[in-house]
Each structure stands twice: as structure tokens, then as C-alpha cells.
Amino acid sequence: MEQRPNVGFIGLGNQGGPIARRIGEAGWPLSVWARRAEAMTPFAGIATLSETPEALAAASDILCICVVNDAGVNELAGRVLPVMRPGALIAVMSTIHPDTCVRLAERAAERGVSLIDAPVSGGAAGAEAGTLTVMMGGAETDCARAETVFRCCGRLVVRLGDIGAGQRAKLVNNALLAAILDVTQDARETGVALGLDPAALDGVLAASSGDSFGLRVLSALPALSAFANGARLLRKDVGLLRDACGGAGVSPPPMLDVGTRFLDRATGPA
């Protein structure tokens, strides 16, 4: 029986933690590291708890990074690349700027290490259920290597193109979500202004052609302000897509302004 590659996982937050757990429970040799030592405690028994990202990286054939932003990914890359073995693979599962992934892939290649971007959609619930969408960008052979791992946490695992393509797809998806949230909230508020019962209206929309994932998010909130943390993450992604469009000479689509209006409603202007 062919030996499975060693998988390292950095970033055990509300999405990264469940992803890593599914990888370990699927039988992959797993090592984990997180800035907060207590985040690693639940992995005792299914993973090696690494003392440093360098120690984890040195032992990893495939290293997944799932932290919040570009700064975090860049900082970790600076620490792990010098110790990774030639032939190893980094999968950036964070949602960051596509150009950051391109630059990191160039740095990795200098050391004989491959890098792909592999952001995900589906949130913590999707990670726990193994129903995430994993959007990969990178060389076909590298994406195929990573796909064997991602199958345990993703219902749809797809290569979108070369490095950065996964990030571009994720940013388009999240900007679209922000815009849908805005027009959906408009519809709900209009219905209430016209005298409709809000819960009954949500039920009608959910059973009709106006249904959407955005509606399900909004109807579950006790108040719009309860989405403030999610809105802050979406604001980052809307900004990244706006910048990526500018860098590619593509006119920013109107949905960015629509989505930004919702984010302002949920959190206040940036």
C-alpha cells in the first residue's frame, strides 16, 4: 500500500480547525500548528502538535496555510519556505490577493517547492460536514496532488487555472454574496414597510423564486448588526477584488458598490 504524504496544517480557526480535523480523521499523517497553543489541544490523538511552524514545515510533504489575510500568509511563508524540502507543496487556503499567491509561488519555486492557491467556500458548517467548495489555482500536477487531500473536506474540488485563479474565483463569489445580501435586505425592508409580517415574508421568499443563500443568512440574524464580523471579512474580499480588477485593467463591476453598501449597513462605513 502506497504511503500517504505527510500533511501539515497551519491555522486552526473556525474554518481551518474543522478542515484539519477531517484531514486527520480521514487517515492522513497530520501535523498542526496554531499561534494559540490551546487551539491545538483538541487535535491530540489525531495529529502531531508542532512547537513551531518551522518544525511542522520541515516534516510536511503538503503544507496547508489557512490564516486570515495577506500579511499572515506572507509572514508564515517567510518562516516555512527556508526549511521545506524540495518537491514539497504549499496550499494557500486563505482568501488573499491573487498577486500575493503569484509572488509566493515564484519565491517557492526558487527553493524547489510548489505552491497553489486553494481558498474555500462554505464556512465552518461546510468544513465540519465536508461539503466545502475548494477553488484551486496552480499547475495541474500540483492541484492533482492537493485534490487527494481536499476530497475529505470538499464536495466540489476544482482547478480554475494557473496560480491566482482560485483566489479570483473566491473573490468574485464573495463580492456577489455581498451584493445579494444588499438587495435581499432591501426586499425584506420594503416588505415590512408595506405592512408585511417579516417572518412570514422570509418564509414566502424562501419558498419562492426570491430564495438565496443570502436570504437564509439574513433571516437567521436577530439583527443586521449581528453580521458585523462576517461583513468585515467580506469587506476585505470586496476590496481585494476591486484592486485585482484595477491591476488587470478590468472595470470594477457595479456589484462592488452594491455590496459595499450592505457592508456599510452592517458595520458602518470603513
Residue 268's Cα: distance from chain center in Å?
A: 24
Q: State the number of CA atoms in the 13 A half-sphere of 88 facing the CB.
A: 24
Q: Which of 21, 22, 170, 261 is catalytic?
A: 170
Q: Could you tell me if 105 and 131 are in contact, meaning their C-beta atoms sit under 8 angstroms apart?
A: no
Q: How many CB atoms lie within 10 A of CB 21?
A: 22
Q: Annotated catalytic, 236?
A: no
Report the DSSP beta bridge partners of residue 49: 32
Helix (H) or strand (E) holding 8: strand 7-10
249 by Cβ neighbours in 10 Å (0-12 / 13-18 / 19+) ranks as: exposed
Phi/psi of residue 74, nearest 5 degrees: -60, -40
The catalytic residues are 170
